[in-house]
Amino acid sequence: MTIFAAEVGSNHLYQVIFLLSLTLILGLFAGRFFERLRVPNLTAYIIIGLALGAVFYLLGYGEIAQAFEAMINVGIGFIAFSIGLELNFKKMKKRTKEVIIITVFQAVFAFLFVFIALYVFLFPLHIALLLGALAIATEPGPILLITKKMQSTGPLSDTLVPLHGVEDSITIMIFGIAISYATSVESGISHGVLETLMGPVLELVFSLLIGLAIGYVLVRIIRYLKYEDVEKDVVILISTTVAILVSIAVANTGFDFFGFHVHLSPILLPMATGIFFSNLSTNLAKHETERIMDLFSAPILIIFFTLLGAEIVLLLAESYESLNLVLILVASAIYVVFRFFGKIGGSYLGGKVAKSSVTVRRYLGFCLLPQAQAAIGLAFYARSSLVGTQYGTMILIIVMTSTIINGIVGPLGVRHALLKCHGFDGNSCNILYLSNKDPQAHEMH
Q: Tell me: the pLDDT tens digits for 190-242?
A: 665 666 667 677 777 888 899 899 999 998 888 777 766 677 888 888 889 89
For the structural domain made of 2-444, what CATH number should be given?
A: 1.20.1530.20
- Supply the Cα-derived Rg of the chain in whole angstroms: 22
Task: Report d(CA 335, CA 398) in Å as an integer.
Answer: 8
Beta partners for 153?
A: 430
The predicted pLDDT at position 118 comes to: 93
Which phi-psi region, left, alpha or beta, contains residue 82 (left: φ > 0; alpha: ψ -120 to 50)? alpha
Q: Write out pLDDT tens, residues 392-411.
A: 778 877 887 787 777 677 66
Side chain identity at 405, as an amino acid letter? I
Contact between residue 139 and residue 167 where contact means Cβ atoms under 8 Å apart: no
Q: Are strands 255-257 and 260-262 parallel, antiparallel or unpaired?
A: antiparallel
E-only strand ranges, 221-329: 255-257, 260-262
Say what the pLDDT of residue 7 is. Answer: 42
Nearest to 158 by CA among 405, 403, 427: 427
The pLDDT assigned to 367 comes to 74
**Residue numbers of the chain with a pLDDT score lower than 70:** 1-13, 38-43, 61-69, 88, 91-95, 139-165, 169, 188-197, 199, 227-229, 259-260, 319-323, 372-374, 377, 388, 407, 410-445
* Residue 126, SS3 per DSSP: helix
Domain ranges of the chain: 2-444
